Amino acid sequence: MEPSLRGLEGYLGFWLRRLSDTVAARLEQELAKHGVTVSQWDVLITVHRRDATTAREVAEIMQIDPGAVSRLVDRLVAKGLMARELHPSSRRSLLLTLTEAGQALVPELSATVDRHDRYFFGHLDQEERAWLTDWIVSLLEHSRSMPDDDQ
């Protein structure tokens, strides 16, 4: 197969990357006004919703290294937003909890993230949003099944 020799603007991946970079950068800026990063927000909302109560569980949900979660939690503890407590049934595990300041901040952060989402995607109706989400998830799943050296 002959290469197409088109410029970057001819590749869908280029446009997806530009959109992703733009959306992510804007969210980082908005959350920075509250003193947190997107990754720290992810930890806070995960613990707030009780989707996870330990760093290992947070790592599984976020699909990142447990060491990275531990560093994120360290920063949140230092900011007074999160605490580690002894697990009542396991001496080898610590429970993650939000402090009063963390509990108070989560609704503000949620409102910020909701505004951000509306800014970028509010012009799409529910059907379009569902289609776009399904399409992106499908592309991600397909990318995970591709061999490393796809010729």
Calpha distance 75→29 (Å, rounded)? 18
Residues 6+ apart with CB under 8 A from 45: 106, 109, 110
pLDDT at 105 exceeding the cut of 50: yes
What domains does the chain contain, in order, with CATH numbers? 11-111 (1.10.10.10)
Residues 6+ apart with CB under 8 A from 129: 121
pLDDT in tens, 7-47: 888 888 999 999 999 999 999 999 999 999 999 999 999 99
pLDDT at 67 exceeding the cut of 80: yes
Q: Dihedrals φ, ψ of 66, to 5°?
A: -55, -35
Most confident range (mean pLDDT) of 62-66, 84-88, 105-109 is 105-109
pLDDT at residue 88, as a whole number: 80
Mean residue pLDDT of the chain comes to: 92
pLDDT at 151 exceeding the cut of 60: no
Percent of the chain with pLDDT over 70: 97
pLDDT at 5 exceeding the cut of 90: no
